[in-house]
Structure 1
Amino acid sequence: MIISLFLFLAFFISQYSDNDLTIEANYYIENIGRNVDLDENYWALTELFFSTCQVNDVVQDQILNSDIIELKKYYSDINCSEINNDLTKTKYNLYYQISYEKGLTGLFAYFIIKSPKNEDFTSKIGAFKKVWQHRIPSDFENLLVPILNGSSLSPQYYPETNTSLIIYGILSQRNSVALTDSLNNEHLPIFWINELQNDKSSDFSFDPKNSLKLNSLIISLFRDGQYQKLLEINDLTRFYNLSPDLNNRSSLFYALSYAYFSVGRYDESLNVMRNKLLPLGAYIEATTVVLNSKLLMGASLYQLGKFEESKKVYEDLVTNNSVSKINIELLNNLSISYLKLGQKNKYVSLMLEALNTATKENAYKNKLTILRNLFYYYLSISDYSTALRYLDEAESIALENSDNAELSAIHIIYATYYWDVENDLDKALDELDAIKNSTLLSDDYFDRLSFLKKRIEIFIDSENYSKAEHELLEFKKITSENSDNRNYFEALIGLAEVKLKTNHLDEAGEIFDELRLYSLDNIDFELSVLYNTLSQMYNFQTGSKREALDNLEPVIEQVLQRARTSIDTQTGFWTLEQEYIDLFNASIQMLISLGNEQRALQLLDELKTINDAALYNSPILRANSLSEEDLAQDKILNDKIQDLRTEYLNQKTSDGRLQIKSQIDRLSAQREEILNKVRNELPNPVIPVWVIQRNISNNELILHFTEVGDKLYLAKISSNKIDISVYDFDRLTKNRFQDFADHIASASTDLFELHEITSLFKLDEIPSQYNSITVIPDNHLYRIPLDILPLSEPETSRSFGQVNYLIEKYDTRYFTSLQEFLENNRDTFGQKSTVDFSAFAISDFRSFDSQTLPSLPYATREILNIDKKLTDIENRNLYLGADATKQTFLEEAGKSRILHVATHSEVSEQDPLFSTIYLNGRSGHKEQPLYAYELFTTQLHNEMVMLNSCSSGSGDYLQGSGVMGISRALRYAGAQSLALNLWSVNDKIASEFATTFYESLNRGKTKSQSMRDAKLMLLETGNANPHYWGAYMLIGNSIPITKKPVKTGLLYFSLLLIFLASGYYAYTKTYSITVRNSSI
């Protein structure tokens, strides 16, 4: 299998050739012939000679062709073959022979340094000194003592001659630990850097003295972890040769590549690997070099967001690798690449294969890592029983191996699960007590901190503030004893939070006074946000209300800006940390209490649109559009900006903040130049609320929902009023809403549950002046369309035909934000489209191998019926069955105003950017799933996309985040609106719904009116259970898709009205002028 690995890398070999080696070998041979630097040139020629058997043959040919008889004597009888290619002992014997016969003290010292330490050098040293006493430098004896003893080599014993050769020998000898450390600790002569910089010329140099200096610098800086300094001298590799031993040369290139990786210059790391390391590894057939390089290459590509390329690298290694020792790491890396690409089945399969490999190799630590990964994966898809099964197995393995550290970590994971998922305080504390009441709680300082932090977190979340305070005081005590300022500040901030929540303002004030005495430069961004939030809450509660809000505004700005660049690589969503939740809830409630509803609403909508503004920051999208250099530079700039944001929040003076802000702005501008290459259009500015209100008609009411942690905000917005209500939306309430939605999706609809929502939000008390409701949902409320809510209390839970639903009274529209609502009034008719309607339908899925998908017998019929209804849309393309291919979809989707898909699709909650539409492959090919992120480069210009008969990856319904995710993805790609069903419905009902929907669209009605017509049709003629008629939601632009001409009779009547109105206007205008004139 290794053979195929090198065949794969064959294209690299052209960069290394026998001719290159011939030039290098002749350089050393000619210098030896001229007696130039004999110690160094004999060393270089010997190292090159013994690199590999292939190199040995090339160099030996040059030696035999030379006129130097001594060279032939030394090298001509040494033969290398694949059977006997370990000539280390032969090489060092040759060093001794050459140095002894030629009197080369530097090469003799190098021989002693590099030879096995169990060898007795007494006789050889004595013989050398006897013959060459007159040539031995005075410091030679002082040099040999530490070398032979393996003790530290003080700077005063550095040799005056052959310095570079001897120091390189020490540094490259792994066994000489004390010698190596002494050189590193004494900061190896850094003046060599200046020498090399000054001596370089336009011609590449094989000078072995310079090679030795450069090699020593690389080894020393790499071992010392001075990666940035190391990279500053990388340019010298363009002028000076690295080690003539090609194996050592590959190690040095790997060190440079790894250093680039470590400082985030993944593009340069890849350049070194592609242009230097892999070609060299392929040439010398160095299996380990190639494998390690490819592993690093895969990791670099992964860090840049190039998950597809990373996956291919790992797949190649798994296919061609015969070194079982690294199979676990390979399989783990490859499986994570699959996960990032939305290929969940492959992820699980590879993780299980890695688990089996770890079991066979008895690598229990690897098994624990894999089991934890599987636990977190199944936890993320809400498969709790499977998740716990893997965690249980991890616990058993840790017990078998008496690994207390792992057991402690597992108990903390259990505690987190029981509290976060099951909301079971007793079980969570039992798990933590199992650590406290046993030997599992080690004396390790950081283990104790982790344990205390988890207890504090749970006690604060459960509002058990007295116990939280007890644990915080313990936390404070041990951090103080260990002079751990960062965690000591965290303890103080936690105590201040407890005092505020228990209304002990005086004690909170004392803590803030203490915190102000310290510089908080070393606390992280999230903790700084919490500190600023709590301190301004204190100010607000003690009377400084305006000051508190003014002080929070820059904090909000930094958090929002940070959030826009902190998108999860898989889901496309930003992570709302608890510290951010506290900040936003505190700020919004302060604003509401001060009567500033406009700013509160603006902030709430900004929270909803962060994911929109940041979608271009998705690694998948950026990796498809940016070069590796841009990707690496973007990451570096982003990291610098994030560090500066923390400095900004921790800076106490206004001048200091101003300076940091200017740095942030400058770096942000540089980053914007890169990101503008990705964006379809520039991000929209924040819209003032009064502009929104100016676009609301008098009969229209907007219901704007926003979830922020355990609070739900409902803003009722009309043209002249904003009213914001705040609801407690804790875990139990969220679970209750989740249950309501599950019941609807499974046709177990409970009208009492739905009416509970109506009453909660007072939707039955909407003033009579409104007949149109615009809904901007959030998360849970995407799964429960307000259309289906009963306006009066039902007689029974299933008296579906006896209640009036909201849709029967109101025309409803849905948007994801106020920004999208504002854009809804923009007519996009006919923009950039050459086809009016394109439809893709598949009914038979028996040939699909990757998924077991049920047939959709009405899908094809649905398209044909719609085609008949669209009499006022001329250019229509239908792709049915085998013609509904991924290739055709990608070619035609961007050309169509209306895009209709009637096939299976999977809209995922966990990773909506990988939401899937199942299409056929080209003739003779298997099915080809289309992922949402692939549409980013398609440049859609659709007025509407309708996904019919979709099923969710989380069951028979869509989660709210999945709806938001697919909507954002399609909207980013250019679609103006999206129609989709939120849960699976009967194939026949889906077909009837779509036909009626398009029939209304064909009559010139708006999309929202047409959606309402279709729902009312099903409600009136079919089963009144909302499950059957309420599944569909239209999100986005509602403009009609046809422009119906006005009928002739109506035209004449309209003209008459215009004529009469014009006459009346002229009369009143004349009359008013007459009156005004007569009054003068």
Structure 2
Amino acid sequence: MNNTTLNSYDSLLRVLYNQNKLTEYANLAHDASYEYYFKKDYPKAIKYALEEVKYKKHLSVEKQKNSLFNLGLFFFKNEEYSKSIDTYNLVTDSFSVDEKTYRAYCENAKNYQKLGDYYHAKNYFRKGLARPEQISTKRLPLIYLNNITLNQVIESKETLKENAILLNKVDSLSNIITLKPGDYYSLLNEYGIYYSSPSPTYNFEKSKYYHLKALKTSIGNNDSLRIVASSNNIAKLLNLEKKDSALYYINKAITFAKKEDTNLAKLYLNRADFFNNKNKLHEALKSLNTALQLTLPSEIDTSYTSTPDLKLLKLSNNKILTILILKEKARYILENVTHSKNKELLNIAYKNIIVIDKLLDIVRLESSEKESKLFWQKEASQVYALGVDACYKLEKPNTAFYFIEKNKALLLLENIVKNNTQNRSVVPVSVLQKDLDFKKRIYALENKMSISSNTLLQDKYYSLKIKYRAFVKTLEKVYPGHYKLSQPLDLINLKTVKNNLTDGRVILEYILGEKNSYVLFISKEKTLLKKLSTNEPLGLSINKYLKLISKPFNNNFDLEECRATSKNLYATLFPFEIDSILKKNDQLLIIPDQTLQNLPFESLNKDHKYLIEDFEISYAYSLTFLNSNKSIKRDAPHSFIGFAPESFNYDHLQTLPRSKIETTTIGNQLDGLVLLDDSATKEHFFSKAKDYKIIHLSTHANANDSIAPWIAFKNEKLYLNELYTTKNQAELVVLNACNSSLGEMNAGEGVFSLARGFFYSGANSVVSSLWNVNDKSNSEITTNFYRYLKEGKTKSSSLRQAKLDYIHTHSLSDVSPYYWSSLILIGDATAIYTSYNVLFYIALALLFIAILFFIIKKIKFVGNNS
């Protein structure tokens, strides 16, 4: 068969088909597909592989599986990633489990990586490597190295740790087997990249050593592709240290690189970085545009003033690189243009940011895994910070509002919209139940893994994640309105926000960037965008202040230190022009960002007065979320349910004697249902909470466990992810438990806290805590809060008054912010109960109307009779 010319394959196949020799037909098609594959003619390789698969039933089971595996590979090489995924799924789902099964999972990981769904790719790698002993030793190094490459894209603390482990595994394997030249090069290259990663692993000398060794290896193998890749990595490292020699490696690599080499665009990106370090902006922008051209399928205007059309950008062969190039273009301009006089350059930056935003919307819609969406939201967060920077320099505060809103809680908003979409009604109950069952099983395994993990548990978990994704993918086509958003969500506009503001109420919306941070002030009459000025990084100032107020003051020195720190922080967060306007108002709605979400603004001290003494304060994740969440119809039939376990059956959790008194008192005030001790179970929470307007939980919680935050019931813990499978109709949830507003911070999305979990499941507002609360003071404040709420005050006014009562009735150390400022109100701040005064005036008005009606009738009667 080796002497068979490629042109004769079709005629030979026809002969075999006519003779009904279908086994021979399939075998010949196999040979043809491989021959074209090695010639890199992937369309023809696919053509003959499909012929082989068509008659695979005439082959042995092993050959059937092999034919599908090869077809998946050919689709991947031809950049038909979705078809490759479907084909590899047939390998994993249609045959008994063997080495090819696990390899197919790992190949699909590469497909999802190419599609930008990075965390779904991670699931496939983890599933494929759940049983590494099933994969031959000679194949493992390349799979580990591919996994490392994916981790470098994700670039988190976890993936950095994992890469250290994977590199050691490949190193260990190299002592057992001789690595293929390509695998040995990749090992050196990945070590070089690992040591060039941000702190704590950054080590210039080690990174340089491995990259130079990789370059020497690629030169020895006469491998031009890898010579280019290594030279590029060396240049990138040298750019980090701002060394002139970076340009030598860049220019040398450009001469080696072929036009189709994906590293060529990265070389020009590095070239741009070099010139930007030298303050040669125009040279940097030219290099960026050349880099951009290399990621796109057709010619663009490469002058630095141009911005490519979105339709063309959507066709990019590497969207993450395209976004990075456009982002760097905006960043270079904004860092070099320090004032608003150069409008032309600033407008170029602004246009780039607008088009990146639209491209990011498309990429996010294509992502399926929550973690992949979070990855893209993190990328977007940097873009939106640049957008606000551009708006500040272009004096466009109204436009800045869009970018600040886009930077907050989009994923939560997306989930709320999907959970409450009108299309939900068309989804059969059985399908919704199956979806819920999948989620519950996945979350249960996550919670088990957070306590103790093993290979079997991980294998089950990643299998279930993959099956669930396949289930959802099928349903996306049938019920698109419920399972997948077809377009980006609309954000609330500034005009609507202003129209909805009541007199005396203003909004402060923050965005914290890597270099610059801003606050947007919104009142009925004004919109001001102000830059935050600080002598030290804002995050450090906030953490220093939080450390001071999260414990009682022991002496006068503690008090004075806190006041001084608070004064400086106040001056940063409330620039002078905004501070002077604030005095005319009495209600603040704060939309914090990043570490500001851990800060109780009411505790800030100015002129020996706390902010709460002058203002009623509430918080929201974003104005779009606040508005959307308020519009949801909630009609719970009952008023109040309180849970107070008091003592616990596990983990030696401390008894909470005050919780019983507190919850009983509040329950009596509101004529509600109180579940104490043995009745305060997780099962009762699941079965009853959905029917109540107010849900009160007085118990233990732990959000410091960022893997699995929990809240304690009598018999067991309720984990954050379990809240995602429940529904409530609560106007208010009160979490009188420690740290219930804390959790894992995700850039551009916010804190994944227990409070957020209750919003996800339906709450309109949540009162939660920012640190380990004091049982006595919290109980006092909470009880008074409900008393004021019952009187008809708003939620924000009730919480403020309860805190002021505490401040005015205590002294010395007991009045430390530690005791009273931990509880904050997030979400809708309006009243739940109608004020008695309002009821009185309504009754009076009705009586007046009735009397007036009676008088008019009497006059008419007298007139008719006269």
Same fold (TM over 0.5): yes
Name the aligned partner's letter for residue 791 of structure 1: K
Alpha-carbon distance in structure 1 between the residues aligned to 2:725 and 2:390: 43
Q: Deviations over 1:639-672 (max 9, x none)?
A: xxxxxxxxxxxxxxxxxxxxxxxxxxxxx9x979
Alpha-carbon distance in structure 2 between the residues aligned to 1:171 and 1:857: 80
Q: Does 1:756 align with 2:568?
A: yes
Other structure's SS at 2:193 match: helix
What residue is the counterpart of 2:197 in the other structure? 416
Higher RCO by CA contacts (8 Å cutoff, separation 6 or greater): 2
Alpha-carbon distance in structure 2 between the residues aligned to 1:297 and 1:387: 19
Deviation at 1:571?
8.5
Other structure's SS at 2:832 match: coil
What residue is the counterpart of 1:193 in the other structure? none
- RMSD over equivalenced CA pairs, Å: 5.7
- Residues 523-542 of structure 1 correspond to what in structure 2 (within 5 A)? 524-532=318-326, 541=342
Alpha-carbon distance in structure 2 between the residues aligned to 1:837 and 1:891: 14
- Residues 192-211 of structure 1 correspond to what in structure 2 (within 5 A)? none
Name the aligned partner's letter for residue 390 of structure 2: M
Alpha-carbon distance in structure 2 between the residues aligned to 1:585 and 1:886: 41
* 5+ long unaligned stretches in structure 1: 1-145, 174-178, 189-219, 282-287, 306-328, 337-353, 632-667, 793-802, 922-926, 1060-1080
What residue is the counterpart of 1:68 in the other structure? none
Name the aligned partner's letter for residue 835 of structure 1: H
Other structure's SS at 2:787 match: helix
- Contact 1:399/1:407 (<8 A) preserved: no
Deviation at 1:897?
0.9
What residue is the counterpart of 1:886 in the other structure? 682
Deviation at 1:481?
0.8
- Residues 416-455 of structure 1 correspond to what in structure 2 (within 5 A)? 416-418=197-199, 421=200, 428-435=203-210, 442-443=217-218
Name the aligned partner's letter for residue 1033 of structure 1: I
Name the aligned partner's letter for residue 1024 of structure 1: V
Alignment length (residue pairs)? 739
Deviation at 1:981?
0.9
* Structure whose CA Rg is larger: 1
Alpha-carbon distance in structure 1 between the residues aligned to 2:639 and 2:232: 59
Other structure's SS at 1:725 match: strand
Alpha-carbon distance in structure 2 between the residues aligned to 1:303 and 1:891: 42
Q: Deviations over 1:927-974 (max 9, x none)?
A: 3x444444445432111122221457989x989966455544433432
Task: Give 1:487's match in structure 2, choosing from 253, 257, 263.
Answer: 263
Name the aligned partner's letter for residue 374 of structure 2: F
Alpha-carbon distance in structure 2 between the residues aligned to 1:700 and 1:1013: 17
What residue is the counterpart of 1:318 in the other structure? none
Task: Give 1:917's match in structure 2, choosing from 697, 711, 717.
Answer: 711
Other structure's SS at 1:979 match: strand
- Residues 157-168 of structure 1 correspond to what in structure 2 (within 5 A)? 158=12
What residue is the counterpart of 1:553 in the other structure? 354
What residue is the counterpart of 2:817 in the other structure? 1026
Deviation at 1:496?
3.5
Alpha-carbon distance in structure 2 between the residues aligned to 1:681 and 1:524: 22
Judged with a 3 Å threshold, the aligned counterparts in structure 2 of structure 1 residues 945 and 589 are, in CA distance, closer, same or farther, namely: same
- Contact 1:943/1:977 (<8 A) preserved: yes
Q: Does 1:741 align with 2:546?
A: yes
Task: Give 2:250's match in structure 1, choosing from 463, 468, 475.
Answer: 475
What residue is the counterpart of 2:470 in the other structure? none
* Identical amino acids, percent of aligned pairs: 18
Name the aligned partner's letter for residue 495 of structure 2: W
Q: Deviations over 1:897-922 (max 9, x none)?
A: 111223333447856xx64334456x
Task: Give 2:394's match in structure 1, choosing from 580, 588, 594.
Answer: 594
Deviation at 1:758?
0.9
Q: Does 1:575 align with 2:376?
A: yes
Judged with a 3 Å threshold, the aligned counterparts in structure 2 of structure 1 residues 564 and 954 are, in CA distance, closer, same or farther, namely: same
Other structure's SS at 1:416 match: coil
What residue is the counterpart of 2:510 in the other structure? 705
Alpha-carbon distance in structure 2 between the residues aligned to 1:334 and 1:825: 44
Deviation at 1:857?
3.7
- Contact 2:16/2:24 (<8 A) preserved: no
Other structure's SS at 1:575 match: helix
What residue is the counterpart of 1:786 in the other structure? 601
- Contact 1:222/1:259 (<8 A) preserved: no
What residue is the counterpart of 2:831 in the other structure? 1040
Judged with a 3 Å threshold, the aligned counterparts in structure 2 of structure 1 residues 372 and 934 are, in CA distance, closer, same or farther, namely: same
Alpha-carbon distance in structure 2 between the residues aligned to 1:330 and 1:599: 41
Alpha-carbon distance in structure 2 between the residues aligned to 1:680 and 1:224: 33
Judged with a 3 Å threshold, the aligned counterparts in structure 2 of structure 1 residues 152 and 747 are, in CA distance, closer, same or farther, namely: farther
Deviation at 1:412?
3.0
Q: Deviations over 1:730-776 (max 9, x none)?
A: 99543453444345446687513333211212368343212222111
- Residues 641-720 of structure 1 correspond to what in structure 2 (within 5 A)? 674-678=479-483, 685-720=490-525
- Contact 1:567/1:618 (<8 A) preserved: no
Judged with a 3 Å threshold, the aligned counterparts in structure 2 of structure 1 residues 481 and 471 are, in CA distance, closer, same or farther, namely: same
Alpha-carbon distance in structure 2 between the residues aligned to 1:571 and 1:775: 28
Deviation at 1:815?
1.0
Q: Deviations over 1:673-706 (max 9, x none)?
A: 8441248999863222122122223422211111
- Contact 1:701/1:770 (<8 A) preserved: yes
Alpha-carbon distance in structure 2 between the residues aligned to 1:842 and 1:935: 19
Alpha-carbon distance in structure 1 between the residues aligned to 2:155 and 2:127: 20
What residue is the counterpart of 1:611 in the other structure? 411
Q: Does 1:865 align with 2:670?
A: no
Alpha-carbon distance in structure 2 between the residues aligned to 1:161 and 1:823: 67
Judged with a 3 Å threshold, the aligned counterparts in structure 2 of structure 1 residues 720 and 449 are, in CA distance, closer, same or farther, namely: farther
Name the aligned partner's letter for residue 490 of structure 1: K
- Residues 292-441 of structure 1 correspond to what in structure 2 (within 5 A)? 333=127, 397=172, 405-406=186-187, 408-418=189-199, 421=200, 428-435=203-210
What residue is the counterpart of 1:898 in the other structure? 694
Q: Does 1:543 align with 2:334?
A: no
Alpha-carbon distance in structure 2 between the residues aligned to 1:920 and 1:445: 65
Q: TM-score, normalised by structure 2?
A: 0.68
Other structure's SS at 1:975 match: coil
Name the aligned partner's letter for residue 904 of structure 1: H
Task: Give 1:507's match in structure 2, choosing from 269, 274, 283.
Answer: 283
- Contact 2:635/2:729 (<8 A) preserved: yes
Judged with a 3 Å threshold, the aligned counterparts in structure 2 of structure 1 residues 478 and 170 are, in CA distance, closer, same or farther, namely: farther
- Contact 2:106/2:143 (<8 A) preserved: no
Name the aligned partner's letter for residue 863 of structure 1: T
Alpha-carbon distance in structure 1 between the residues aligned to 2:165 and 2:238: 27
Other structure's SS at 2:197 match: helix
Alpha-carbon distance in structure 1 between the residues aligned to 2:112 and 2:758: 24
What residue is the counterpart of 2:763 in the other structure? 975
Q: Does 1:984 align with 2:772?
A: yes
Other structure's SS at 1:939 match: coil
Alpha-carbon distance in structure 2 between the residues aligned to 1:723 and 1:153: 75
Alpha-carbon distance in structure 1 between the residues aligned to 2:283 and 2:838: 77
- Contact 1:564/1:613 (<8 A) preserved: no
- Contact 1:705/1:713 (<8 A) preserved: yes
Q: Deviations over 1:790-845 (max 9, x none)?
A: 113xxxxxxxxxx321112211111111224546887x8x9321221122232333
Name the aligned partner's letter for residue 861 of structure 1: I
Other structure's SS at 1:595 match: coil
* 5+ long unaligned stretches in structure 2: 114-122, 179-183, 298-315, 439-472, 851-866
Other structure's SS at 1:677 match: helix
- Contact 2:265/2:295 (<8 A) preserved: no
